[in-house]
Chain A
Amino acid sequence: MSRALWFCAGLLLCAATFIPLSELRKALPPAERLGHLPSPGVTYFASLEHRALVSELIFYRTMFYYGALVHQPKQAPDYGALYAFLDTATRLNPGNIDAYYFAQAILTWDAKMVRPVNGLLQRGIAKRPWDADLPFYLAFNYYYFLGDFEHAARYFEITARLNPEVSYFGTLTARALYQADKTELAIRYLQNLLKGTKNQAVRKQIAVRVDALARIRFLEVACQRYRDKAGRAPASIEELVTAGVIKGIPPDPYGGVFYLDPRDGRVKTTSNLAETRKAQ
């Protein structure tokens, strides 16, 4: 009888403390939950023969941290820490495709860390010479973010060689050299990225970006139609509506407003294709 009593008392104590403790842990800022990693060198040697597994575990930690933050619009992720984790993950296992994919999908667009991500991708290309996705990402980064058409063409060519079944990679090689339309390229690239992911948080981010770019593309086509009709470029987006080319201006899914940049005449948005969040 006394044993049963002790058992029940212990169980009650566990239940009474564990639930509030879980709530306390949940309330911790996500940055604290991401924590810190030892230096890549220490992690490398401490992982012994399990580097591939440890690399994946580090990536999982990064992904869960980001997934938790996606639903908290008031706090921006600590992109520096995210990059450090992905860097360590890819040093432990340079073949970890998940880490490259995540870096490409999130850090280039949201954190504008294009050059550091390019460094990671170079590491991946060296270890995954059969993979057509990594040179494609690198080519896209050079083309879209950095405007480096020479490097972009080189990596589009590698992509086309590795994946001859996808004909548009081949045409992109030529397009990159002629500075073809960036928006259409970005939509195709993001659709390729979207095809390969199961993670809901990342899928949502990419889908919103595709949606925003499709609206920009819609406005760009309308501008072209206006030019064909009026013989000059429109002065503003609103002019497309008043001229009857489009019925209305679509809203920016990121909460910004579309406008025509007077410097280059391109359609842009005040949100800069990123959700407005408070920096940490």
Chain B
Amino acid sequence: MRVGSFSLAQVTFKGGVRDRLLHGVLVAALLLLCSTPIFSSFSMRDVAGVAVSYTLSMISVIGVILAVFLGGNLIARDIQSRTIYSVATLPLSRSRYIMGKYLGLAQLLCCSLAILGLLNALGLAAIAKGYPPDRPLQWLSYAACLAFDLEKLLILCAVLVLFSAIATSTFLPMILTLAVYAVGESTEKVKFFIETVEGAKNVTPAVRGVSRIIYYLFPNLSLFDLKNQVIYALPLDPGALLLTALYGIGYITVTLALACAVFGRRDFV
């Protein structure tokens, strides 16, 4: 009997739900969300807007922490505790093992973001009732913002799984993934800057070339940031969103395929 990726995903998900790190981070997240009325009350003109920017940033930060710290332990823990040897005896290919772990983590992140997003929506609705914003909150944009935030986290998880498939240490993949997150959030702005007249004057051709390579190699995470659309109730561009969603799926597919290939050739003896 072959063990499927989905069975392993379920096991990973159940293991993750019992993880104390998840409980701790979620409790901290809820406490931070509870502080929203205090933080936003200092705003002079846009209490609801500040509440939206504060809570969406908090959810995003919590998501990155969960993705990196829960995901960082997924494969490394199996290797360090030598569970990987038992897994190797199961009728489960290495690619399915990687996919199972990834899908379990994805489920965990999806549930965490759904819980935080729902509770936050209730809080935001109450704040918007007390301090009506200039333009009413667009709940469709809010849901889209959370969905694209989740896709961003899934890209980071795929990157983390790739690094975990290569590295032997637990912390190195986590640190590298955080670096990819920082680069992914800035790369678009850097590219746009070097393409301006000012950028062309101040940046050498070599740096321009390296920036271009980085722009195409690293995930462009700015695309998944819809916070401004929610804060200022700006219209969404369905075409751009569809392209972004497909780009994210493509990047995840490529990264996981690489991770499976690398992990398949890895020697554990």
Contact surface of A with B, Cβ cutoff 8 Å? 44-45, 48-50, 52-53, 56, 60, 63, 93, 95, 97-98, 101-102, 128, 130-131, 196-199, 202
Which of B7-15, B40-48, B162-170 is the interface stretch? Answer: B40-48
- Is there an interface contact between A49 and B135, defined as CB atoms closer than 8 Å? no
Question: In the complex, which residues 29-48 of chain B have their Cβ closer than 8 Å to any Cβ of chain A?
Answer: 41-46
CA of A50 to CA of B50 in the docked complex: distance in angstroms?
12
CA of A49 to CA of B228 in the docked complex: distance in angstroms?
10
Question: In the complex, which residues 100-145 of chain B have their Cβ closer than 8 Å to any Cβ of chain A?
Answer: 134-135
Contact A56-B43, Cβ < 8 Å, known A48-B186, A49-B185: yes
A63-B42, A196-B44, A197-B45 known, 4 other contacts, Cβ within 8 Å: A45-B186, A50-B57, A97-B49, A198-B41
- Is there an interface contact between A98 and B53, defined as CB atoms closer than 8 Å? no
4 closest residue pairs by CB, A with B: A52-B53, A48-B185, A53-B57, A50-B57
Taking CB atoms, residues of chain A closer than 8 Å to B61 are: 50
Distance in Å from the Cβ of A198 to the closest Cβ of chain B? 6
Residue tally, chain B, CB below 8 Å to A: 28
CA of A44 to CA of B50 in the docked complex: distance in angstroms?
18
Question: Which residue of the partner chain B has the closest CB to A50?
Answer: B57
- Whether B261 sits at the interface, judged by CB under 8 Å, is no
Distance in Å from the Cβ of B158 to the closest Cβ of chain A? 18
Task: Select B43's contact among A45, A98, A128, beta carbons within 8 Å.
Answer: A98
Question: Which residue of the partner chain A has the closest CB to B40?
Answer: A56
Taking CB atoms, residues of chain A closer than 8 Å to B186 are: 45, 48
Taking CB atoms, residues of chain B closer than 8 Å to A101 are: 44-45
* Max chain B Cβ within 10 angstroms of own Cβ: one of A49, A128, A130, A202: A49
CA of A60 to CA of B46 in the docked complex: distance in angstroms?
13
- Whether B253 sits at the interface, judged by CB under 8 Å, is no
Distance in Å from the Cβ of B211 to the closest Cβ of chain A? 13
Which of B86-94, B219-227, B236-244 is the interface stretch? Answer: B219-227
- Whether B215 sits at the interface, judged by CB under 8 Å, is no
Taking CB atoms, residues of chain A closer than 8 Å to B222 are: 49
CA of A138 to CA of B190 in the docked complex: distance in angstroms?
32
18 residue pairs of the A-B complex, CB under 8 angstroms, read A48-B182, A48-B186, A49-B57, A50-B57, A50-B60, A52-B53, A52-B57, A52-B227, A52-B228, A56-B43, A93-B53, A93-B228, A95-B228, A95-B232, A98-B44, A98-B50, A131-B134, A197-B45
